[in-house]
Structure 1
Amino acid sequence: MASSTLSGKNTLGDRAVLAIKKHFEKFLKHEADVIADSDPEALHQMRVGMRRLRSAIAGFAPAIDLPKPVQEKKIGKIARILGSLRDLDVLRESLENKYKPALPADEQEQLDTALVYLYKRRRKVFAKVHETLTGDRYQELKQALEKWLSQPQLQPIAQMPIQATLPDLLLSEVGRLLLHPSWLVGTKLQDEQVVVQTGQTPEQAKQQLIDNAPLLHSLRKETKRARYQMEVFANFYGASYETYLEDLKAIQSILGQFQDSAVLSEFLADALQSKIEKNMPTLANLLAEHNYQAWQQWQSLQQRYLNLESRKGLHMSILMPTWENVKNGQSTEHDTILSQQS
């Protein structure tokens, strides 16, 4: 049976309410600017707030009893709508500031044509964002969450000290990440050991990316989920845990480079009705170079997380929270820093 009792200490329930409240307030702070379409950064921060709210709800799921409008999947649907607009803003920024200055005049003209196409698409996507944020379902979400925060409904397990439950909350998520089949991309079995095949040529790496694009994109999403879940509880851990978090952030970024490159190429093919290798060979070569550099970085991290000691180290860091750094349910300095990160 759910209850609404908070202890004012570091129980699982108390920390759940604190986390949900913080991220709810974060996305609300930027709502008006997003509806007005006045600042791309506001869109980014609102999307981050919703992502982290969703992660907090997932991470603390055993301890909380939320109303139907506040279910994780419903928040995820709104976050994806915001994300579709944010992705176009990121694409525009990349095309205009990262790639366009490095292109010859004829390819810059091609890019300008594509940017006009992008602006038209963005207007349609923003209309969907505006409709969503002014619609009934989003308003129901906010009202239900405000009501819940005024009198949180918690599960019996919420009374448990958080330091006793953290490993159980995190190990299953990390286990799914470490068992993902993408870790075996570009490897071979040698003397009962999985060996990463390094030293590949740019063409070989390119083919690996083409052949395994869906798998690597899936790993990116799994890495993001694990990272966000670990970040929810980062203030209960020390330096070793932070090191693993930085690795996950790097893996997510590297795999994001592969995905961003594929999205960019697909967008330009739609906008220009032609593959970029034909009309924009300089840009195609730049993308290939960036992907090859990212591939080499990926293989280095891949080797680390196929290593038994590294995997055991991650598990051990989760099993040993330094929870004494957090007193009486108060936020630590890490809480403040995390709330400002993307």
Structure 2
Amino acid sequence: MADTKREIERKYEATTDARVPDLTRVRGVSRVVDTGTADLDAVYYDTPGLRLAAHSVTLRRRTGGDAGWHLKLPVAPGVRDEVHAPLDDHVPPALAALVRALTRGEDLVPAVRLRSSRDVRHLLDDGGGLLAELSTDTVHAERLTGDGGTARWTEIEVELADGGDPALLDAVDKRLRKAGVRPAAAPSKLARALEETGTPPPAARPAEHDTAGGHVLAYLREQADALLTHDIGLRRDHPDSVHRMRVATRRLRSAFRSHRKVLDREATDPVAAELKWLAAELGVDRDREVLDERLREALDAVPRTLRLGPVHARLDRWSAARRAGSRDRLLEILDGDRYLSLLDALDALLAGPPLRPAAAKSPRKALAKAVAKDQARVAARIRHALALDPGHDRDTALHEARKAAKRARYAAELAVPALGGPARRLVKDMKALQKLLGDHQDGVVAREALREIAVQANGAGESSFTWGLLHAREEARAADRERELPGLWAEARGLDG
């Protein structure tokens, strides 16, 4: 069974003229204890094209100290989650599954071997508790593919103890820099080894903000990276990862649709269609979570004297029936050929973007035009919805207005680097509008669910009174949102507002 540890560390160059200073002068550090030297031997695995390294992910099999398989996933600069599995001759299936969206079915093969002699010192507090570990590593790197180059270097690493205060690393960093110790240029040993022993992994393209096409592509690449990041989070069962992954798919689709003057839709439409499919699959679980939370909060708000019958048990049974097997089904989708083909198609599109002539234009004018068009769509849909009588048709029209507001919000987000404050204000306004219309739509869905639960309760001989009460409350809540809409919309500003 794999387990996870959060790793927070800093790396430094160990040059001949740099010396580790007395770290007991760092606030909180009482003693520095030399614990000896350990010999470590690690083989790093990757695809032949170094797909893992390209995303700053490492997978290694280590013997010596801390033996086992370690999968390191980036969280933030200097922060990684290290997922462990027991030592074995083959890549653990559980670890391979976590990075399937990166490997796309390619074999994981030995890429680099790192042998290190590690001199370890513990930074202790007054009570002898471990604050951090400082190690000086003399590293020998050997490339196991291609021409098999080698490299040698020495580096210093300071790793925070579990549960430690990151401010300690800042204080140690200040002390080291004052002594002439400089931060390492490479983010990891593997990155340095790949750089010095042969062809490094493909580098991420820098953001391009001098043209409309550059802005759009930078945004698309950001969302494509987010899709992969939250894919791993979903496989690790992290809270909210399903929602965040779904948002990335929506932002990608929205950008394709808003910027058809920049990207040829003949190339983007097929990818957008597959993203729509993926968002729908991801939405099944997310929508269930949102609805379940809404119904439980509403039920808890009902006075006990008005909760007639086994209402909590009825809601539990109804929710359990809807959730059965949902996670397994979603993981099957993420492991399926259709999803992996979508990721390949998205990579290909971004590697060779189908740019149209407008892509070369000034970003301010081109992006402002696209945002204004999306905002005009919102205005038209709101006018149409408010002109309808309350009921099913208005509910449907308001839902369409919500989707338009979401698209306008994403278009404005993309345009922020070019348009600045006006785009940020529009993002804020569209987010508020989206929230109001989202609450209204959640109420529509809740009323349908409450009617279904009431029918089930009645069929089982239970009272349906409480479910009818909740239905009436949802109707009143929806009416409140509809009354608030004209005022909220009147306050919304365009790019010139």
Match of 2:485 among 276, 288, 298: 298
Give how far 1:123 is off: 2.6
Match of 2:273 among 61, 68, 73: 73
Aligned to 2:400: 218
Distance in 2 of aligned mates of 1:242 and 1:92: 33
Q: Which amino acid aligns with 2:278?
A: I
Name the CA shift for 1:63/1:108 in 2 (closer, same or farther; >3 Å): farther
Give how far 1:57 is off: 2.4
Match of 2:370 among 169, 178, 182: 169
Name the CA shift for 1:146/1:301 in 2 (closer, same or farther; >3 Å): same
Name the CA shift for 1:158/1:240 in 2 (closer, same or farther; >3 Å): closer
For the pair 1:86 / 2:286, whether they are aligned, the reply is yes
Distance in 2 of aligned mates of 1:286 and 1:91: 15
Give how far 1:153 is off: 4.3
User: 2:409·2:430 contact (CA, 8 Å) conserved in 1?
Assistant: yes
Aligned to 1:138: 339
TM-score for both structures, normalised by structure 1: 0.72
User: 1:64·1:155 contact (CA, 8 Å) conserved in 2?
Assistant: yes
Aligned to 2:140: none
SS in 2 for 1:178: helix
Distance in 2 of aligned mates of 1:169 and 1:300: 25
SS in 1 for 2:210: coil
Q: Which amino acid aligns with 2:263?
A: I
Q: Which amino acid aligns with 2:255?
A: A
Aligned to 1:103: 302
Indicate the structure with greater strand content.
2
- Residues 1-342 of structure 1: pairs in structure 2 closer than 5 A: 8-35=208-235, 38-65=237-264, 67=267, 71-96=271-296, 98-105=297-304, 106-107=307-308, 109-180=310-381, 182-183=383-384, 185=386, 208-209=390-391, 212-273=394-455, 278-302=465-489, 304=490, 314=494, 316=496
Name the CA shift for 1:8/1:258 in 2 (closer, same or farther; >3 Å): closer
User: 1:182·1:219 contact (CA, 8 Å) conserved in 2?
Assistant: no
Task: Note the residue ranges of structure 1 that are not aligned, 5 or more in a row.
Answer: 188-206, 318-342
TM-score for both structures, normalised by structure 2: 0.51
Distance in 2 of aligned mates of 1:133 and 1:80: 13
User: 2:215·2:414 contact (CA, 8 Å) conserved in 1?
Assistant: no
Distance in 1 of aligned mates of 2:434 and 2:280: 18
User: 1:81·1:128 contact (CA, 8 Å) conserved in 2?
Assistant: no
Moved more, 270-279 or 84-93: 270-279
Indicate the structure with greater helix content.
1
Moved more, 243-252 or 17-26: 243-252
Name the CA shift for 1:15/1:68 in 2 (closer, same or farther; >3 Å): closer
Distance in 1 of aligned mates of 2:283 and 2:263: 27
RMSD: 3.2
SS in 2 for 1:39: coil
Structure with higher Rg: it is 2
Give how far 1:226 is off: 1.9
Distance in 1 of aligned mates of 2:382 and 2:209: 40
Aligned to 2:201: none
Give how far 1:232 is off: 1.7
Name the CA shift for 1:112/1:157 in 2 (closer, same or farther; >3 Å): same
Distance in 2 of aligned mates of 1:115 and 1:25: 37
Give how far 1:102 is off: 1.2
Give how far 1:14 is off: 1.5
Structure of higher RCO (CA pairs closer than 8 Å, 6+ residues apart): 1
Distance in 1 of aligned mates of 2:454 and 2:284: 21
Moved more, 252-261 or 62-71: 62-71
Aligned to 2:129: none
Moved more, 45-54 or 19-28: 45-54
After superposition, the C-alpha distances for 1:43-63 in whole angstroms (9 at most, x for unaligned) are: 111111111122222233332
Give how far 1:19 is off: 0.8
Q: Which amino acid aligns with 1:121?
A: R
After superposition, the C-alpha distances for 1:116-168 in whole angstroms (9 at most, x for unaligned) are: 22222123544443332221121011122223434444333322221231233
After superposition, the C-alpha distances for 1:52-109 in whole angstroms (9 at most, x for unaligned) are: 122222233332358579621221121121112100011122223x223212443583
Name the CA shift for 1:184/1:151 in 2 (closer, same or farther; >3 Å): closer
Distance in 2 of aligned mates of 1:252 and 1:91: 17
SS in 2 for 1:154: coil
User: 2:263·2:359 contact (CA, 8 Å) conserved in 1?
Assistant: yes
User: 2:368·2:415 contact (CA, 8 Å) conserved in 1?
Assistant: no
Name the CA shift for 1:22/1:262 in 2 (closer, same or farther; >3 Å): same
Aligned identity (percent) is 25
Q: Which amino acid aligns with 1:102?
A: A
Give how far 1:246 is off: 2.2
Moved more, 7-16 or 250-259: 7-16
Aligned to 1:199: none
User: 1:177·1:223 contact (CA, 8 Å) conserved in 2?
Assistant: yes
Distance in 1 of aligned mates of 2:419 and 2:319: 43
Task: Note the residue ranges of structure 2 that are not aligned, 5 or more in a row.
Answer: 1-204
The number of residues matched between the two structures is: 285
